[in-house]
């Protein structure tokens, strides 16, 4: 996870959220990073990423630096967007991984951005976990 400087917003509109998701796809393809879950909040993001080739730091550097450059260029800003290096935690077993997935997907609910319908939050991988039935 990482958050904006001084807890400031890191996304201004749907275009910014889409840009970030496009970069997630890019790092997935470039470095064999498997994105298991994500949730983009106003001033931070959470990811669960599996990097079988040990490329987590390269993925995160690419994601954070390119997103910052594109965000700053688009909005006429300069300087750092994020408060520092990303925070990471190793999911050591399946039960902890399940807890992390729940925690990440419930972020918009805890923040009051949705009521009960977490599937209505558009900037999360939650809908990908729902069955069609």
Residue 36: CB atoms within 10 A of its CB come to 17
Give residue limits of the domains in the chain: 2-129
CATH class of 2-129: alpha beta
Neighbouring C-alpha atoms within 13 Å toward the C-beta of 132: 0
19-58: per-residue pLDDT in tens?
999 999 999 999 999 999 999 999 999 999 999 999 999 9
Q: What would the pLDDT profile of 111-132 be if each residue is shown by its tens digit?
A: 999 988 889 999 999 999 986 6
Q: Quickly count: other Cβ atoms within 10 Å of residue 103's Cβ.
A: 14
Q: What is the DSSP string of 18-81?
A: HHHHHHHHHHHHHHT-EEEEEEE-SSEEEEEEE-TTS-HHHHHHHHHHHHHHHHHHHHT--S-S
């Amino acid at each position: 996870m990482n958050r904006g400087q001084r807890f400031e917003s890191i996304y201004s509109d749907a275009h910014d959220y889409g840009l970030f998701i496009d970069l997630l796809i890019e790092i997935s393809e470039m470095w064999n990073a498997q994105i298991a879950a994500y949730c983009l909040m106003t001033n931070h993001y959470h990811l669960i990423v599996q990097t079988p080739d040990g490329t987590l730091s390269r993925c995160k550097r690419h994601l954070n630096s390119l997103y910052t450059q594109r965000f700053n260029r688009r909005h006429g800003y300069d300087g750092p967007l994020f408060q520092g290096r990303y925070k990471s935690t190793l999911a050591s077993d399946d039960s902890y991984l399940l807890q992390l997935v729940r925690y990440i997907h419930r972020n918009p609910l805890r923040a009051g951005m949705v009521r009960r319908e977490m599937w209505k939050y558009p900037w999360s991988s939650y809908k990908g976990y729902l069955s069609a039935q």
